[in-house]
């Protein structure tokens, strides 16, 4: 293959065999993936939310958050490659960065199996195809095990990512498609096309769902929130590991195992 297509259909050629790229990642889950693929020595910048693997990323300079990157800091790092995500990063910032970063790689996984293309995209561009294929094999093994797990009856679940205001996810998100793997249909906020809509509690909403899922990130829901909400709405409420549900990349392999445990509970 002569090149690799990112989420916008932009073709990226593999780096020259003797080159030393300088990578800035604005996506926490992809920072972890880069390290898993052995590319940490080439990582020169990451966001403050790029926290895995902790022993490696602590030595990589921070360049702000996913939504509020420090463009001046990135410019000083002189990256050759910038990795971003359509949902997680602001297009206006990426457009500015693209003026001086030669290669901007845009990602946008929407289903668990999109991780296979993501592994191969990063592996192909940075010439670590064997490591990428090893991740693909591990993913396929876990996915097959998940598919073979007996499924519970379908349920409509409200997945909450924020409080004050309450916010959820739409059905065309990675999280919703992870939920669907074990028969959880994501409750869809009526009257909006927003991917991460806000909502208000009502009797009609509560009657339309079988339960509520509180994510541990980005809002730090706890068991205390679970107890309070169960008393408020009278429906089952469960606390979930947000990283396992929403992080694509190498963590998605563990995410499939996590789903399998949820589906069998």
pLDDT in tens, 112-133: 999 999 999 999 999 999 999 9
DSSP count for the chain of H helices, then E strands: 11, 11
- Alpha-carbon gap, residue 41 to 51, rounded angstroms: 16
- The reported pLDDT for the residue numbered 263 is 84
Predicted confidence band of residue 81 (pLDDT cuts 50, 70, 90): very high
Q: Which long-range contacts (CB under 8 A, 24 or more apart) does 111-115 make?
A: 111/174, 111/177, 112/143, 112/174, 112/177, 112/178, 112/181, 112/248, 112/252, 112/255, 112/256, 113/143, 114/174, 114/248, 115/139, 115/248, 115/249, 115/252
For the packed helices 28-36 and 251-263, what is the interaxial angle rounded to 10 degrees? Answer: 110
Q: Which residues of 76-154 form beta strands (DSSP E)?
A: 81-85, 103-107
Cα 134 to Cα 107, 128, 131: the distances in Å are 20, 10, 5
All structural domains of the chain, each given as residue ranges with its CATH number in brackets, are: 4-144 (3.40.50.1980), 155-263 (3.40.50.1980)
Predicted confidence band of residue 265 (pLDDT cuts 50, 70, 90): low
Task: Determine the average pLDDT of the residues in 5-17.
Answer: 97
CB atoms within 10 A of CB 148: 8
Q: Rounded to two decimals, what is the model's pTM?
A: 0.96
Do the strands 11-12 and 4-5 form a parallel or antiparallel pair, or are they unpaired? antiparallel
- Alpha-carbon gap, residue 195 to 62, rounded angstroms: 28
């Amino acid at each position: 293959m002569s090149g690799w297509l990112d989420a916008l259909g932009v073709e990226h050629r593999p780096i020259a065999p003797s080159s030393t790229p300088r990578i800035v990642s604005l996506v926490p889950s992809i920072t972890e993936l880069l390290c898993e693929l052995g590319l940490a020595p080439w990582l020169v910048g990451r966001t403050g939310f790029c926290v895995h693997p902790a022993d490696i990323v602590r030595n990589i300079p921070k360049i702000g958050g996913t939504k509020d990157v420090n463009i001046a800091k990135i410019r000083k790092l002189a990256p050759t490659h910038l990795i971003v995500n359509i949902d997680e990063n602001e297009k206006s910032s990426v457009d500015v960065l693209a003026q001086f970063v030669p290669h901007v790689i845009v990602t946008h996984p929407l289903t668990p199996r999109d991780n296979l293309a993501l592994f191969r995209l990063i592996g192909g561009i940075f010439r670590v195809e064997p490591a990428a294929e090893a991740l693909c094999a591990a993913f396929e093994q876990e996915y097959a095990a998940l598919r073979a797990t007996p499924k519970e009856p379908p349920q409509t679940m409200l997945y909450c990512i924020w409080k004050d205001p309450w916010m959820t996810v739409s059905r065309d998100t990675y999280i919703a498609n992870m939920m669907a793997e074990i028969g959880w249909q994501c409750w869809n906020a009526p009257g909006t096309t927003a991917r991460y809509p806000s909502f208000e509690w009502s009797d009609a909403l509560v009657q339309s769902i079988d339960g509520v899922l509180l994510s541990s990130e980005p809002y730090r829901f706890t068991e205390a929130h679970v107890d309070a909400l169960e008393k408020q709405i009278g429906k089952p409420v469960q606390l979930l590991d947000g990283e396992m549900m929403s992080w694509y990349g190498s963590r998605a392999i563990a995410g499939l195992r996590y789903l399998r445990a949820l589906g069998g509970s």
